[in-house]
Amino acid sequence: NAGVMQNPRHLVRRRGQEARLRCSPMKGHSHVYWYRQLPEEGLKFMVYLQKENIIDESGMPKERFSAEFPKEGPSILRIQQVVRGDSAAYFCASSPARTGDTGELFFGEGSRLTVL
Amino acid sequence: KNEVEQSPQNLTAQEGEFITINCSYSVGISALHWLQQHPGGGIVSLFMLSSGKKKHGRLIATINIQEKHSSLHITASHPRDSAVYICAVLSYQLTFGKGTKLSVIP
């Protein structure tokens, strides 16, 4: 049973390009969470998705950032027109139910974005 | 908004020492997670607590709901325990502490 898979593990982009980060949750998990870890900062919640629905995007910047979790395929965090401040590690986590119900949460290895 | 404070920020210990990392939070929660992050690596969930105490190998986690405080203990520490330990509390969503960087010296 594979864990949460994130790719790419490392991504380098120039300012103004687009970054796409993918997350495949654990088998049987339909809840996906994205977190961002800025250098020397703690993890911050970005967005919570269930299959085909965004449940809570209160932590995600209103511009340039979007997330989806389609019926088929991985969840994708998309950052348009990247800026240097977007350089961070982006972690995905999945759970079989909303974390408030079970507390179970499994993290991926993270995707490290560097914007030149 | 829940504030999560961890102490100490940095901790250096000799191999074999008993280690304690503390976490305090400001509002009521339904659960608390202790996470481990190795440099450049992913995040592993060590414990999820809503009350009392849990033990896994050399790791022990306790929580006092009334005092809004949790501790993570490592007995007989080993260099492979060197990592950042993160406390995260769950109310509506997860709020994370900034982590405690532990270095265990042989």
pLDDT in tens, B40-91: 778 999 999 989 999 999 999 999 999 999 999 999 999 999 999 999 998 8
Interchain pair B96, A107: CB under 8 A: no
Closest Cα in chain A, distance from residue B65 (Å): 16
Task: Kindly identify which residue of chain B lies nearest to residue A101, measuring between CA atoms.
Answer: B30
pLDDT on residue B40: 78
Interchain pair A103, B41: CB under 8 A: no
Q: Write the DSSP assignment of B41-76 as a string of letters.
A: S-EEEEEEESSEEEEETTEEEEEETTTTEEEEEESS
Closest Cα in chain A, distance from residue B35 (Å): 10
Displacement of CA A6 from its chain's centroid (Å): 9
pLDDT on residue B27: 84
Interchain pair A109, B33: CB under 8 A: no
- Residue B68 in contact with partner chain A when CB distance is under 8 A: no
B45 chain-A contacts, CB cut-off 8 A:
105-107
- Residue B41 in contact with partner chain A when CB distance is under 8 A: yes
C-beta separation of B8 from B27 below 8 A: no
Torsion, Cα of B48, A4, A109, B3 (10° steps): -40
Max Cα-Cα span within chain B: 41
Select from B37, B38, B93, B96 the residue whose CB has the most chain A CBs within 10 Å, as the one to mutate to test that interface: B93
A44 chain-B contacts, CB cut-off 8 A:
96
pLDDT on residue A1: 52
- Residue B46 in contact with partner chain A when CB distance is under 8 A: no
Interchain pair B50, A103: CB under 8 A: yes
- SS3 state at A86: helix
Closest Cα in chain A, distance from residue B4 (Å): 10
Summarize pLDDT for B13-28 with one digit per residue, the tens.
Answer: 999 999 999 999 998 8
Residue range B91-105: mean pLDDT, rounded: 91
Alpha-carbon span B53 to B72, nearest angstrom: 10
pLDDT on residue A66: 97
pLDDT in tens, chain A (116 residues): 579 999 999 999 999 999 999 999 999 888 999 999 988 788 999 999 998 899 999 999 999 999 999 999 999 999 999 999 999 999 999 988 766 556 678 999 999 999 99
